[in-house]
A and B are shown apart, each in its own frame.
Chain A
Amino acid sequence: MTDTATTKPAPPEGKGPDGTFTANLKHIIADLGKNGIFLALIAVIVLFSITTDGILLRPQNISNLIVQNGYILILAIGMVLVIVAGHIDLSVGSIAAFIGAISGVFVSADFLGLPWWLAVILSLGVGAIVGAWQGFWIAFVGIPAFIVTLAGMLIFRGLALITLGNSNIGSFPEEYRALGNGFVNFPVDIGGGETVDPLTLVVGLIAIIALIVQQFRTRNGRVKYGQDVEPLTWFIGKIAIFAVGIGAFAYALSVFKGIPVTLIILALLVLAYGVVANRTTFGRHIYAIGGNRRAAELSGIKTRSVDFWLFVNMGLLAALAGLVFTARLNLAGPKAGDGFELEAISAAFIGGAAVQGGIGTVGGAIIGGFIIGVLNNGMSIMGIGIEWQQAVKGLVLLLAVAFDVYNKRRAGTAASR
C-alpha cells in the first residue's frame, strides 16, 4: 500500500527491470521516434532563433506567433478530424471570409449594431448552418467532399463579396476586437519601465500542476490495469522538460502583455477536441471510418451521421476562425481567409495525418500549424520575400509527408519480418 508499490508497474509481458539505464534509453528512443514532429518544431525554432539573432524568441514575438496563427490553428483542429475520416475541406477560407463579413454586418454600428456576444453566437450559428449544408451533400447525397467543398469555396467567397457589397466593413466594438487582439492581464511594475503580469504566471503554474496531476493519474490508471508504462525516471524527466517549457512560455507572455484571448480560445479548443478525438464514441468512430469505412459500417457505426456532424463542426470552427481573424484586423474585407484552407491542410499533414485517412491527431495538427507559423514568422523577420516563403513552405510540406511515408514503410517491413 506504499507509494512505491503503486508506482511500480506490473508489466504483463515481462519487461526488463524498471528504471535501468537501457530501459530508459529504449523508451526515450521510442518516444523520440513517435514525436518526430515535435523535434522538427524544436529544430525549426532553434534554426530561426539563430538566423534572426534571437528576435524569434523575444516575448513580443512569441505573443505575436500565437495571435498571428490562432485562426490557422483553429482551422487545423477541425481539418485534421475531417482528414482522419478520409475527407478534405477546401472551403474553410471562404467560410471564414463569409462569416467575418456576416459578423461585421451584425456587430457594426453602421449596420445592425447588435451586442457583441449576440453577434458572435449568431455568426457561429451561421457557420454551423454552412457546415450542415456541405455535410448534407457529402453524407447524404454521397458527393465527394473534394467537389462539395471546392464548390463551397466559390459559393461562400461569392456570398462574402455579396455581403460586403464591394467595400470593407470595419471599426468594431472593443469586446468584439478582443477575440483577435485582446489580452487578459494585471501588469505590475517591477521597475525600470518593465512590467510583469502575475496572472499569467499563476495560470502558467496552474497549467504545470494540471499537467503533472493529469500525467500521474493516467499513469496510475494504466498501472492499475496492468498496462506497460515507461520507467519512472524518464516519465518524470519528460514532465520536467514540458514544465520548464510551459514556465518559460508563461514568463515570456507575462513580461509582454499577458495572456492573449486567442490563446485562451485555442487552449480550450485543444483540450476539448483532444478529448473528443480520443475519449468519445464520436471521435473513435471518426478513426474507425477513416481506417476502413466498410468495416465501420458493418460494425454498426452510422457513417453518414458521423460525416455530417464532422462538417457541421468544421463549419463552426471555420466561423470561429473567421471571427478571430476579422476581430484582429478590425476589418471584414473581400480578401479575408485567402489561402487559409491550404495552411490548415498543410498543418494537418505536417502533423502526421495520413492522406488515406484513419491516422492523425489534434496535437499533431497544432504542432504542424506552429511549424508553419514559425516558418512564416522567422522568414519574415529575416526579410525573406513572400515568393521564397511560399516555395519553402511547399517544400517543407512535401518533405514532411515524404518522411512520414518513408517512416511508415520502414515500420511496415520491420513488422512483417
Chain B
Amino acid sequence: MTQNILEMRSITKTFPGVKALSEVTLEVAPGEVHAICGENGAGKSTLMKVLSGVYPHGTYEGEIVFEGRTMKFGDIRESEAEGIVIIHQELALSRYLSIAENIFLNNEIKGRFGLIDWDKTTDEATKLLARVGLNDDPNAKIMNIGVGKQQLVEIAKALSKKVKILILDEPTAALNDADSDHLLDLILHLKGQGITSIIISHKLNEIKKIADSVTVIRDGKTIETIRREDVSEDRIIKGMVGRDLEHRYPDHTPHIGEEVLRVEDWTAHHPQDSSRVIVDKVSITARAGEIVGIAGLMGAGRTEFAMSLFGHSYGSRISGKVFKRGTEIKTRTVSEAIKNGIAYATEDRKTFGLNLIEDIKRNISMASLDKLTSMGLVNDNEEYKVANEYRDTMNIKAPSVLNATGQLSGGNQQKVVLSKWIYANPDVLILDEPTRGIDVGAKYEIYTIINRLAAEGKAIVVISSELPELLGICDRIYALSEGRITGEMPVADATPEALLKLMTLEKQR
C-alpha cells in the first residue's frame, strides 16, 4: 500500500445555517492527477479553501494529513510554504505589472541592501516560463497577454514557490480549445516531474483525458473515488446528480396559454474582446403560465444571455430579435425592457440586485416609483403600505419594512428582489439562480412564489445550474453550452443524465 501524499479525513465545514461539507474524505496519491467533480454548490471549492487555509484550522472539523504530518494551516501563506498552491478561477494577477513582477509578487528576489535584483528576477522568470512552455518576454504586461497565457503565468508563479500539490479550480473555464489542450498537456508534463495536481472541473472529456482518479462530491459529501480504469462519463454523472428528488418542490399544475416571449438568434460578444462570441444565436420561447428552465454550467453564457437581453446590460455587438405576444419589441435599455414587460432578477443580489444600505420599502419600490408618484411627488405612505403587503405575502422575515436589506438573510434578501420585480408587474420574469446561497426551507418558499406567478399567467424563465431544481419546478428545459442552445425537452422527458450530456456538449472541432 502506497503512502498518500495528502489525506483529508472527515472534513466538516458549517456556515451559519448551512452545512457545506459533511465528513468529506479525499485521498490523493503522490504524483497523480486527481479530479474533483460535482455540481455547482456541491462543496468542491469549499473543500479546496479548507485545504489551502483560506478557512483556517479551527473553523472546520476533521484532519488534513500532508506527507504524513497533520497540518493546521492558519492562512494561505502557511499552506503555500508547505508547497500546496491553489490557482483560483478568477486569476490573481495584477494587470498592470509585468509577467516577471507577477511571478515574484510578495516573493521578490532581493539583492544587496534589500533592493530587488531585477536581472535575476528576469532570468528566473524566463526559466520558469520555459518550464510552462511560454516564450513571451517576462517584461510584458499581464494585460497584454491572453487569458490562456495568464493561466500559464499563474502556474509558473506556483512553480516558483516549490509547489508539491497544484490545485486548479476550473482552469479551462475561460480558455479556448487550443489553450485548454496546451494547459492539460502541461499538467501531464508537470506530473512527469513529480508534481501532484488536483483539478476541479466538470468538463468530463477533460477529466477522462488527464485524471488518474476522480472523486465525486455531492451535497457536501464524498460519493466515491473512481480509479482511472473505471472512469466513465455515465458513472460520474450518476454520482453527481443522483439524489432524492421527492418533496423538495411544491406541486405545480401548469395552465399554459399563448406564447408571450420569443427570442430569435440572440447573439452577444464579450464586452472588451468583441471578437469572442459569448451568446451564440440563442432562440427560446416562453408561454403564459409556463416555467421554462435554462440549464447550463458555469461559463455557458446563461447570465450573459439574460443580461444582454435585459437592456443590453452585458456584452457588445448584440443582435437578434425579441417578440412579445408576436410583436417585435426593443430592449436596448433597462427601462425600455421593463416598459415592455420584461424583468430580470440577478444571480448576484448583493452586487447587482439590492441597495444594501437602504430599507426594504425603498428597495421594493426602486423599479416602479412612477406607480407611487402623483403630481411629481412620491406618496411614501402608499409606498409603506405596498411594502408591508409584500412583506406579508412574500413572508419576508423582518421586524419592519424600514429595516435595511443588508441586515437580512440571503433568503429574505431574495424575497425583496422578487418583490421588487413582482411589483413592477412584468409579463416575463427571468430569474437567474433564484435560490443560490439560500437554505432549503427558503428555497421551498421561493419555488412556491414562482409557481404562484406562473399560475397568474406570467411567463417565467429560470436559469440554474442545479439540475434537480430545474427538473423539480420547470415545464420545459433548454440546455445551454458554450453560448449555444444544445437541446430542449419537456420536463416529462428530461433526465439529469440527458441534460448534463447536452450541457457538456462541445462545439464540433
Contacts and interface: CB of A to CB of B under 8 A. Distances in A.
Interface stretch (B43-51, B125-133, B289-297, B372-380): B372-380
Contacts of B420: 299
Interface stretch (B200-208, B216-224, B381-389): B381-389
A35 interface: no
A299 B346 CA distance: 10
Nearest to B379: A279
Given A13-B400, A287-B358, A291-B355, A298 B381 contact: no
Given A288-B355, A291-B355, A298-B313, A281 B381 contact: no
A101 to B, nearest CB: 35
Nearest to B352: A294
A174 interface: no
B407 A415 contact: yes
Given A287-B358, A297-B313, A416-B407, A228 B381 contact: no
Interface in A278-328: 278-281, 284-285, 287-288, 291-292, 294-302
A12 interface: yes
B357 A358 contact: yes
Contacts of B354: 292, 295
A221 interface: yes
B334 interface: yes
B388 A12 contact: yes
Nearest to B310: A298
Contact of B355 (A224, A275, A295): A295
Nearest to A299: B367
A348 interface: no
A279 B358 CA distance: 15
B346 A291 contact: no
Contacts of B508: none
B441 interface: no
B358 A225 contact: no
Interface in A196-234: 221-222, 224-228
Contacts of B357: 291, 354, 358-359
B146 interface: no
Contacts of B352: 292, 294-295, 298
Interface residues of B, number: 40
A284 B399 contact: no
Given A13-B399, A280-B376, A297 B381 contact: no
B349 to A, nearest CB: 9
A139 to B, nearest CB: 15
**Which of A279, A292, A416: most chain B Cβ within 10 A?**
A292
11 contacts: A278-B380, A280-B377, A281-B378, A284-B362, A288-B362, A298-B334, A299-B366, A300-B338, A300-B367, A301-B335, A416-B407
Contact of A291 (B356, B365, B373, B388): B356
Given A287-B362, A301-B335, 10 more contacts: A13-B400, A221-B381, A222-B381, A279-B378, A279-B380, A280-B373, A281-B369, A288-B355, A295-B351, A295-B354
Nearest to B335: A300
B83 interface: no
A132 B178 CA distance: 50
B384 A225 contact: yes
Interface residues of A, number: 34
A294 to B, nearest CB: 5
A413 B373 CA distance: 36
Contact of A284 (B311, B351, B378, B384): B378
Given A12-B388, A280-B377, A284-B369, A298 B344 contact: yes
Nearest to B351: A294
B356 A275 contact: no
B362 A279 contact: no
B384 A227 contact: yes
A-B pairs with lowest CB-CB distance, top 5: A291-B355, A300-B335, A299-B367, A300-B338, A225-B381
Contact of A279 (B337, B338, B346, B377): B377
B395 to A, nearest CB: 15
A358 B358 contact: yes
Contacts of A222: 381, 384
B334 A227 contact: no
A288 B366 contact: yes
A275 B353 contact: no
Contact of A281 (B351, B370, B399): B370
B310 A225 contact: no
A32 B414 CA distance: 33
Contacts of B369: 281, 284-285
A16 to B, nearest CB: 15
Interface in B217-237: none
Interface string B167-188: 0000000000000000000000
Contacts of A287: 355, 358, 362
Contact of A224 (B311, B333, B344, B381): B381
A224 B400 CA distance: 17
A307 to B, nearest CB: 15
B448 to A, nearest CB: 24
A358 B338 contact: no
Residue from A224, A279, A288, A295 with most neighbouring chain B CB atoms (10 Å): A295
Interface in A104-125: none
Contacts of A300: 311, 333-335, 337-338, 367
Contacts of A221: 381
A297 B355 CA distance: 11
